Amino acid sequence: MNQQRKAENVAEVKGKFNAAKMAIVTEYRGLTVGQMAELRREIYGAEGEYKVIKNTLVRLALKDGTYASLEPLLKGPNGWVFAYQDPITLSKALVKFSEQFELLKIKGGVLDGEFLEPTKVKDLATMPSRPELQAKLLALMQAPATQLVRLIQEPGARVARLLDMVRKSKSDQQV
């Protein structure tokens, strides 16, 4: 590979790291081509990307960056998972896949500049995703309004129930 092409590849890899909110290193040894394609689909569905990149290119791209703590993991064949949107959704998809296909091993990752051991990546997958948190927050925000509406409607509902009971008692007396 000539120097110019190598520099372009390093710049491309640096761009992926700069754009990503989280990066995870995996070992994919033993996975079939079909399984790799399925993994890529799962990761893409979680708004991420799975790439196999040469360790020498990654070493050059990692120098003095936020993801430099991943350099010790660059042994053997590695697959890189880049989370561009919600890291929790992506980690859920990756952990689910690694549990289904045990040949995929999570080596570690970096989220917001903090190194994550494989167990922390799995812990991250157990957290609620952004849409789930938004739904819970919306429910919490709507609860007081819903209770207020019920409180306002209750006197009218009581009157309606009382009138219904009077009507039933009068119809029972006539029969």
Q: Which residues of the chain have pLDDT under 50?
A: none
Same domain, residue pair 158 and 73: no
**Do the beta carbons of residue 25 and residue 82 sit within 8 Å?**
no
Indicate the pTM of the whole model. 0.72
Identity at 150, one-letter amino acid code: R
CB-facing half-sphere around the CA of 72: CA atoms within 13 A? 8
Same domain, residue pair 121 and 134: no
pLDDT at 28: 93
Residues 128 and 140: their CA atoms lie apart, in Å, by: 16
Domain count, the chain: 2
Could you tell me the residue range of the domain that residue 110 belongs to? Answer: 3-127
Same domain, residue pair 56 and 121: yes
pLDDT at 124: 87
Same domain, residue pair 97 and 26: yes
Same domain, residue pair 70 and 156: no
Same domain, residue pair 110 and 135: no
Strands in the chain per DSSP E: 22-27, 48-52, 79-83, 105-111, 114-116
pLDDT at 83: 93
State in Å, rounded, how far the first CA of the chain is from the last one.
100
Q: Which of 86, 126, 91, 128 is nearest to 108 (CA)?
A: 91
Same domain, residue pair 99 and 156: no
Helix, strand, or coil here: 57? helix
The CATH number covering residue 107 comes to: 3.30.70.1730
Same domain, residue pair 97 and 117: yes
pLDDT at 44: 94
Same domain, residue pair 89 and 107: yes
pLDDT at 175: 61
Q: For 24-62, how does the pLDDT look when each residue is reduced to its tens digit (9 = 90+)?
A: 999 999 999 999 999 999 999 989 999 999 999 999 888
Residues 106 and 109: their CA atoms lie apart, in Å, by: 8
